[in-house]
Chain A
Amino acid sequence: MMSVLAPLLALLAGAWLTAWLEPNWLGAGSERGPASPVKIAADVRLTQSDPWLYYAGPVIAFMGVSWAMVCIPFSPSLVGNDVNIGLFYFIVVVDFVVLGIALGGWGANTPASVEACYRTIAQLIAYVIPLGLAIIGPIMMARSLSTVNIVEAQANAQLWYLIPQPLGFALYVATGLIQTYRAPFLEPFAELLNRGVLGVFGGWKGLLWRLALSGVLFVVAAMGAVIFLGGYSGPLLPGPVWMVIKTVGLMALMVWLGRQARLLSTAEILMLSWKILIPVGLLNVLIVGGLILLGVGQEPFSPGADY
């Protein structure tokens, strides 16, 4: 029971953290996308909606985020379930958010929301391959897909994977921003499209959307902290505190970096993905392979080293 409740509570805390951090601390941009202040409007009554998909959308999106929370370790014991294919599970389960947005956008059946649905799916195509290439680097060094094992491998080697793989980290931040619909990539939630699905949902559905879209930034940043910043390992302070510090730091970094670029359209996001992110990802995999041959990040105590 604890393993079910703890990720949910962490997710709620993370969603609150996002909602507090994004607008207040880092200043208000002209376009906020899903980071708009949490204000639950009255429920909207749509005349031409597809009722099944309209209600399924926010539920599926929130479900995906809360499932992704399960495999994030806050300490070796404070993890929902240490799945042995944790990282792969994570990137699969976060896709449910896109599915939820697509369902909600189509189900609401207003021109803006249907267009937001199309653009969301296009963004999915843009980020999936570079995200996989960014995540492969830490997997290659740690020789494991389990999130706890990856943190242990970094602690044993006394090396955050940020240091040997800066390219992979940059790639992860960029794809994380695309994945969470933050600043330069917020087209599906732009004012131009009537704020996408957020504009046509109110009541409990609006609340679930806010939770899911705030939570997804927290979840992505937490996973970035686990695979690139050493997770819960650190001196003096206890593990969960380190984990929270690193997660908040990464969230702030991502949001701040996102505000530095101009907003991109979906076509430009796809162009960026194919022309820059995927080649950089392939280059990163090549570099990491070379580093592993040189023995960087490898330690005799790292799990799976006997293979």
Chain B
Amino acid sequence: MEVSPVLQWITFGIFAFISIAGALGMATTMSMFRSGIFLMASFIGVAGLFILLLADLLALLQIMMYIGGMLVMILFMLLFSGDPGGAMMSTHMRLRGPEWFFSLGLARSPQSKADGNKDDSSPDKGNHEEEGEKEGNHGNDDMSMFTPVKRAAALLSVGIGALLIALLLWRPHWAVVRQMPDQDSPRRIGHLLMDKYMLAFEGAGLLILLGIFGAVMLQRPGKHPDPTQREDLQAAVDAPPAPIKTDSPFETAEPDQETEK
């Protein structure tokens, strides 16, 4: 298919922007769900670059893997994480730059703002600042996001990235091939998979099958449960939960005073 060079450059720009902005958003947003969606957008941008390279089957495989697989992954991530929507983090932290931009609209609703400003005279104060005052650490952020370790890690990653890009640019000649790639790439890939690399392909299939069997076996309830173990588990479930320790002075202060008296 003939595409004019201008259009090619525009398309390349759009897909490159999607993949880079998606990666940036993935790393900086406070919401787990948004983070996963941004990662998906980033990979879809890479799939667009594949299409631009006439590797359409590869691009579609990538999109299929990342929509189907990553949606399931996001689901499990939500089930396991405490604050998947990022509402608490984004209201407790003072955000700047890309973190602020990619966390826009998280728990900044008129409802929560009205609640937050109920006992505050100045209405233009932000919700998160008020929370900070209440906890008494207005100056420093309490969610341990801005630590020296983080800064060092960021510098290290920027250094490694710059090194990699420099190595790429250092190479003097990019090989330019005039030959057009095969238009019927799925047939070619299929023949390669079923002919030359059949052993590796079947091996991967067998491994996945074993994984499924393993998951099913782990999921099955045991036929001969150990009664003592079961009683221990039941006792652990029935036991009253330990009181939650928090750093907030308001919640821990009252029981402490009672015990001192």
Contacts and interface: CB of A to CB of B under 8 A. Distances in A.
A51 B40 CA distance: 18
A47 interface: yes
B57 interface: yes
Nearest to B57: A85
Contacts of A118: 75
Contacts, number: 67
A47 B109 contact: yes
Interface stretch (A27-35, A121-129, A292-300): A121-129
Contacts of B107: 48
The size bracket of the interface on B is 20 to 34
Given A85-B60, A99-B71, A50 B183 contact: no
Contacts of B105: 50-52
Interface in B1-53: 31, 33-34, 37, 40
A88 B63 CA distance: 11
A53 interface: yes
B160 to A, nearest CB: 30
Interface in A26-71: 47-53
Nearest to A120: B71
Interface residues of A, number: 29
B111 interface: yes
A232 interface: no
B68 A89 contact: no
A158 interface: no
A109 interface: yes
A133 B105 CA distance: 42
Interface in A87-114: 88-89, 91-92, 95-96, 98-99, 102-103, 106, 109
17 contacts: A48-B112, A50-B34, A52-B104, A52-B105, A53-B34, A84-B183, A85-B56, A88-B57, A92-B67, A95-B63, A95-B67, A95-B68, A99-B67, A102-B74, A125-B68, A128-B68, A307-B187
Given A128-B68, A145-B186, 4 more contacts: A85-B57, A88-B60, A98-B67, A121-B71
- The 4 tightest CB contacts between A and B, nearest first, are A47-B111, A51-B105, A92-B64, A47-B109
Interface of A: 47-53, 83-85, 88-89, 91-92, 95-96, 98-99, 102-103, 106, 109, 118, 121, 124-125, 128, 145, 307
